[in-house]
Amino acid sequence: MTFPWDFGATVKDYCYAYLGDVGRALSKGFKGVERDLSSARIKVHPEVYFSVVAALALASALVPVAILVVAVSGAIPLGVLPGGGVPPLVVATFLLPLLVLGGGILFPKIKASNRISNLKIEIPYASMYISVMVSGGLSPFESFRRMGKMSLLPNMQEEVDRIETIVMSTGMDPLSAMEQTAKTVEIKEFKELLLGYASSVRTGGDTLHYLFNQTHNMFKGLASTVRAKGETAAMLMEAYTIVGILGVLGLFLVFVVGLSIPTAGVSIGSSTFFLFSFVVLPALSFVFIYLGDIIQFNYPLSNWSAYYATIPSIAVGLALATQLVLPFFQNKPLPRLAVALSNARAMAGMPEGTEACLGITICLLAVALPSWVADYYFAGRDGNVSEGVTLFLRDMVEVRKSGLSPERCIEALAHRDYMGFTRHLRDISTKMNWGYPLRQIYEELSHKVRNWLALVNLYLLLDTIEVGGGTEESIETLAEFSEATKLLEKEKRAALMPLILVPYIGCLLLTGTTLMFLGFFTSSNLGISVAEVSLYRTLLTPLAVHSFTLGLVTGKIVTGRVSAGFKHSALLSLVSTAGVFLVSRFNTGGLI
């Protein structure tokens, strides 16, 4: 891994030359950073690292100094500055160097923590790779070295590089290098794999049997981890329900009272409501999206193809907002689209003032629908490929028992239906008959398939055929682990699927209760004058936006992909609009 800030060797040399004393002092004060740098694979000495951090902190100190100089010189009037003058702003910006210094201290620890989390996911598959290679006739250390070429396990690649560096630079034997590396990485499974293998070799034990047992135990532990993460995701969804639905509902009712009856003692300005609705609520949703990303079981390879449709759809949504939303907040003649929307609202019997809510819903649907379709296509395609690979491996084991070579097994199975994998299998069979190298076949396939589990299984199959001839035992092992992984995915989906119902119920509750409360305060029975149209316009519009972000959070927590949340965002936007329609019809009928 390269240095996090790519200033170049010259800049690092200058920082250490002029701020080396500061770097040494900080290095002595924060001794744990050296281990964090090693675990994060940031290849720089702690003293040099802290010298660069100190240089950045000093550079950030120029910001408050520049503000102070400009303010004192009178170039900017004091009243223009936030906070009512110079002192509050200067005091706040003087904390910037401390924040930079604190970030520099925490960065290696955060980086190391993320890397360890990713490494925990890769270790069982690395052990599976080594077991399959050893069953094919390769030695475990050679399997380790060969795994260094496997880009699907990037963090394990770095550990293999660490072992090879120790062996080549110090002349240490491979077993001792493995033991030294195992002590550096604070992961139980990693230590057990390397130290157990080294001990098995030194004592003359059955290393293949040990590797198989260790791999099976790792996958059992992985299954427990998936279940635990599913329970954590359920708790996170419940927490978001409390905060994002019930908490928001309570605050919205307070806003309804404060904006409807300013004399009721609840002093709420429009700027406060705007800050809460369009800044605090979206920020809260993105915090839960980040937390959902942390607790998810994320594989090293992600498919970003679904997001290619999001960027142009956002542009379309913003263009529509200028015609369907903003005109209702301006004292100008309405454009044609806004007039048509207002007429449609009147025909539906919805109260005046809900036009902006309907307009923002249309804009959000324009953003969500293309992304929903793209995610449905790409996620469904990748899921079918992964399912087809698992079925293919099991069939290949049975055909291999008949005595056919692996190449002939692939050719015989190429005419069967394996869902999304069928066309890729036929392509592999054709290229093998034409004499393509197996490595080239996989490289071309990896550009077409973006499902990590499918690529891992195919890489292991082709690599097994290349080094060991694809024996019956090695392919059987690969099929067993592929089926175990498939079972893990099913358990993960089964644990999280019930959570989908929660946001839909909450969205109806949030929209319906707010609208009924509005209907109560805007009724003529209270003997007070309330700006009914303005209230509907001000309060319902941010609820539509919140329903949209609620869907994004749901998709992230349940499936692990934000792109899957666009489906829920579109549906929740429609549910919110349906709630407005139904409750307004009830209000019209005099039920409230």
Tens of pLDDT, residue by residue over 267-323, are 666 667 777 888 888 888 899 998 888 887 777 777 788 888 888 999 999 999 998
What is the spatial distance between Cα 277 and Cα 546, in angstroms, rounded to a whole number? Answer: 8
CA 164 to chain centre: 32
Contact 223, 493 (CB under 8 A): no
| pLDDT at res. 261 | 67
| Average confidence (pLDDT) over 577-591 | 70
Domains of the chain by range and CATH? 9-113 (no CATH), 122-222 (no CATH), 382-494 (1.20.81.30)
Chain mean pLDDT for the chain = 80
Q: 496 to each of 110, 385, 555, how far by Cα in Å?
A: 27, 22, 10
pLDDT band at 91, cuts 50/70/90?
low
202 pLDDT higher than 50: yes
Q: Closest Cα to residue 134, out of 202, 76, 191, 212?
A: 212
In the predicted model, what is the mean pLDDT of residues 3-30? 74
Predicted confidence band of residue 373 (pLDDT cuts 50, 70, 90): very high
Q: What is the pLDDT of residue 43?
A: 79
Confidence at residue 85, expressed as pLDDT on a 0 to 100 scale: 45
* Residues 48-72, mean pLDDT to the nearest whole number: 80
Max intra-chain CA distance, the chain: 93
Which of 374, 286, 223, 375 shows the shortest CA–CA distance to 557?
Answer: 286
Q: What does the alpha-carbon distance between residue 107 and residue 84 come to, in Å, rounded to a whole number?
A: 35
* Residue 283: exposure state from Cβ atoms within 10 A (0-12, 13-18, ≥19): exposed
Identify the residue with better confidence: 3 or 355.
355
Judge whether 274 and 541 are in contact, CB under 8 Å.
Answer: no
pLDDT tier for residue 453 given thresholds of 50, 70 and 90? confident
Mean of the pLDDT values across residues 8-24? 79
Does residue 518 carry a pLDDT above 80? Answer: no
Least confident of 61-70, 81-90, 155-164, 264-273: 81-90
Distance of CA 212 to the CA centre of its chain: 32
pTM of the full predicted structure? 0.77
**What is the reported pLDDT for 86?**
45
Give me the mean pLDDT over the 527-550 stretch: 79
